[in-house]
Amino acid sequence: MCPSGRIPIPITTTANSDFRPAFEIIDTDRDGKISSDDLRAFYAGISSGEQNDETMIGTMISVADANKDGFVEFDEFEKVLETAPLLCRSGNGGDDGLMKDVFKVIDKDGDGRLSYGDLKSYMDSAGLAVSDDEIKAMIRLAGGDLNDGVSFDGLLKIFGC
């Protein structure tokens, strides 16, 4: 045990351990996994209060929690952070490549906007169990609303691009 009273978490060596410091900042109780309580504590000082924070926290956990144990372990955290930049990189000609393709796949009716139904359908087909409130929170995060849906730029916000 450290003099601070915290139990040190051994740092594992991975191909890219640059994310470990970020993980450790968010893992406020230092138990080696990120919980909803950890995210609440982390966002307490920076939350705008404009969005339903509980729903957003649930969404973050749900998206990253590959083994569905209710927590985000380092390998899950790392996978999300390593995958997001790949999705955000511009394709040939600077046309946002893969992300435009992702947008087109999700946009079932081809109207250029991602509706609640589009997002729900996609999440279900991807095997990601999300609640109605979590879908609504994604739409708000993207700067959209239930009437107009989400633009391409909004989808980039959802993915953190």
Alpha carbon separation from 71 to 24, 37, 108, 111, 157 (Å, rounded)? 14, 10, 32, 36, 23
Alpha carbon separation from 146 to 22, 55, 116, 126, 155 (Å, rounded)? 33, 16, 6, 21, 14
pLDDT in tens, the chain (161 residues): 444 444 443 333 344 457 787 788 788 888 999 999 988 877 665 455 545 567 778 878 888 898 999 999 999 988 887 766 665 654 444 445 667 877 888 888 889 999 999 988 887 776 667 788 888 888 888 888 888 899 998 888 777 66
Q: Which residues contact 66 (CB under 8 A, 6 or more apart)?
A: 76, 79
